[in-house]
């Protein structure tokens, strides 16, 4: 029976990306002249390094890049991505195992679309990046949340995963360093989780987009190499956005067994064809070049991470573990809920983190993303990928508003 609604049920059920919505609202207020401080953005505040931009300018002048190119990616970029993967995570793959996508986001979407049949369950460590459950549902799959709170460093255990596993479980989603929590799994735990997945015949989709953003000497561990038992049931997702400050260029990739990549490439050939050639050539310069730019960004992020977490923990009712990766702090604000705060039209008692985030934006013009975007209520995600002065101003406003209890 056909549905009578204007919008299909499948598409109507998709929630707007809460992170992009907060960012858009903050940018709109700023454009209207309001002195908004945005902690919502999931992107480095640095420009893309010059040598990468130069490669794009060169490419834009070459007529061959004005034409369609292979849907799965430029052969030279696929080769460079395979080489970079061996360099950075010791994972040896053939260029035929690489699909170049329109950002990491498209790689997430295509991975689930390629792996899942209707009703297949995907274990999703929670708090999760807001796009995963939507991409899983769009593919007909069922996201199964496995929650790990701040008391366990936002890291799920094998016991928790095992408790959530059913006959219908097909895939474990794994992300370390994590968006939104900044948590980084220790190497032994990565291997343990990978072994458990292999023993149970699960696929692992591992999102490694923050691989180069870890602090305090904490190493990044790829589950693909830490758990060789997984064999070819691993899909690695990655991209240039975070490492090279290239969020706007839209280049990501998916690495998997050749048959999975062939199937995903067929999907992409009908969905979007090749990623912009100019962007692909910029990505080629990025992945085959040095990691000096990300090392410099990391120094700034590390400084801001410490400043932000110490300011958050100075607020009575807020607990924030020190994140070891990415560029987000994930604060537990359950201690603030139900307390009275001065709103614009009188006292307000926010009961959820969504209400608290709205109150903060309305009263002190600071944009933060509520936990509801990533799982349970009671948390706020703050990105520290913004200038030191803005960060200091924003944290002062939060401290003044929420109260310096300690």
Ligand X SMILES: Cc1ncc(COP(=O)(O)O)c(C=O)c1O
Nearer to ligand X, 84 or 105 (CB): 105
Q: What's the number of CA atoms in the CB half-sphere (13 Å) around residue 73?
A: 33
Which residues 251-270 are close enough to bind ligand X by CB under 6 A? 252
- The answer to the question of residue 282 lying near ligand X (CB under 6 A) is no
> Please, what is the minimum distance in Å from the beta carbon of residue 326 to ligand X?
7
Strand partners, 238: 253
Nearer to ligand X, 129 or 330 (CB): 129
- Site map (CB under 6 A) of ligand X, residues 286-325, x = contact: ----------------------------------------
| Cα dihedral 142, 261, 288, 240 in deg (nearest 10) | -30
- Give the contacts of 295 (CB within 8 A, at least 6 positions apart): none
Residues 24-43 touching ligand X, rule: CB under 6 A, are 42
Decide whether 43 or 58 has the Cβ nearer to ligand X.
43
> Shortest distance, CB of residue 350 to ligand X, whole angstroms?
26
Sequence-distant (6+) residues with CB within 8 A of 68 are 273, 274
Q: Rank residues 130 and 350 by Cβ distance to ligand X and give the closer one.
A: 130
**Which residues neighbour 343 within 8 Å (Cβ) at sequence distance 6 or greater?**
359, 362, 363
* Least distance (Å) between residue 377 CB and ligand X: 21
Q: Return d(Cα 406, Cα 397) in angstroms, integer.
A: 16
129 binds ligand X (CB under 6 A): yes
Q: Determine which helix (DSSP H) or strand (DSSP E) holds 190, and give its type and residue range.
A: helix 187-199
Q: How far is the CB of 238 from ligand X (least distance, A)?
A: 9
**Least spacing, CB of residue 120 vs ligand X, in Å:** 21
Binding mask 199-238 for ligand X (x = CB under 6 A): --------x-x-----------------------------
Q: How far apart are CA 187 and CA 33, in angstroms?
A: 47
In angstroms and rounded to an integer, the radius of gyration of the C-alpha atoms of the chain is: 21
Nearest residue (beta carbon) to ligand X: 103
Helix-strand-coil percent breakdown of the chain, rounded to 5?
A: 45, 15, 40
Q: Determine which residue in the list 100, 124, 175, 190 makes contact with ligand X, applying CB under 6 A.
A: 175
Give the burial class of 112: count Cβ atoms within 10 A of its Cβ; 0-12 exposed, 13-18 middle, 19 or more buried: buried
Nearer to ligand X, 141 or 350 (CB): 141
Q: Which is nearer to ligand X, 242 or 334 (CB)?
A: 242
Give the number of residues in contact with ligand X, rule: CB under 6 A.
Answer: 13
Nearer to ligand X, 350 or 371 (CB): 371
Using the minimum distance from each CB to ligand X, give the nearer residue, 85 or 359: 85
Site string for ligand X, 78-107 (x = CB under 6 A): -------------------------xxx--
Contact of 136 with 124, CB cutoff 8 Å:
yes
Cα separation of 268 and 129, whole Å? 23
Beta bridge partners of 237: 207, 254
Contact flags string 323-362 toward ligand X, x per CB under 6 A: ----------------------------------------
Whether the CB-CB separation of 274 and 71 falls below 8 Å is answered with yes
Per CB under 6 A, residues contacting ligand X are 42, 103-105, 129, 175, 179, 207, 209, 239, 241, 247, 252
């Amino acid at each position: 029976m056909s549905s009578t609604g204007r919008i299909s049920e499948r598409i109507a059920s998709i929630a707007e990306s809460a992170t992009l919505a907060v960012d858009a609202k903050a940018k709109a207020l700023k454009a209207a002249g309001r002195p908004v401080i945005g902690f919502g953005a999931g992107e480095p505040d640095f420009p893309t390094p010059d040598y990468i931009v130069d490669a794009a300018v060169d490419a834009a002048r070459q007529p061959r890049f004005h034409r369609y190119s292979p849907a799965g990616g430029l052969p030279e970029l696929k080769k460079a991505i395979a080489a970079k993967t061996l360099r950075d995570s010791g994972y040896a793959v053939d260029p035929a195992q690489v699909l170049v996508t329109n950002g990491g986001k498209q790689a997430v979407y295509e991975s689930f679309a390629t792996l899942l049949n209707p009703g297949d369950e995907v274990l999703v460590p929670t708090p999760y990046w807001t796009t995963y459950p939507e991409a899983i549902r769009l593919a007909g799959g069922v996201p199964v949340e496995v929650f790990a709170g701040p008391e366990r460093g936002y890291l799920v255990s094998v016991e928790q995963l095992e408790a959530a596993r059913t006959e219908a479980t097909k895939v474990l989603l794994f992300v370390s360093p994590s968006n939104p929590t900044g948590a980084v799994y220790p190497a032994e735990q990565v291997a343990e989780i990978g072994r458990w997945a292999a023993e149970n015949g699960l696929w692992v989709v591992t999102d490694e987009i923050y691989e180069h953003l870890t602090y305090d000497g904490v190493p990044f561990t790829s589950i693909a190499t830490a758990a060789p038992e997984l064999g070819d049931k691993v899909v690695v997702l990655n991209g240039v956005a975070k490492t090279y400050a290239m969020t706007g260029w839209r280049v990501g990739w998916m690495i998997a067994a050749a048959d999975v990549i062939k199937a995903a490439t067929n999907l992409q050939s009908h969905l979007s064809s090749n990623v912009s050639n100019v962007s692909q050539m910029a990505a080629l310069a990025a992945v085959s070049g040095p990691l000096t730019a990300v090392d410099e960004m990391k120094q700034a992020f590390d400084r801001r991470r410490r400043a932000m977490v110490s300011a958050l923990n100075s607020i009575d009712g807020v607990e924030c573990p020190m994140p070891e990766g990415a560029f987000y702090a994930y604060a537990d604000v359950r201690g603030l809920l139900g307390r009275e705060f001065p709103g614009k039209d009188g006292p307000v008692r926010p009961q959820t983190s969504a209400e608290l985030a709205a109150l903060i934006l309305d009263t002190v013009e600071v944009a933060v993303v509520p936990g509801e975007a990533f799982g349970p209520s009671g948390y706020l995600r703050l990105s520290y990928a913004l200038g030191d002065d803005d960060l200091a101003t924003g944290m002062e406003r939060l401290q003044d508003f929420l109260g310096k209890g300690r």
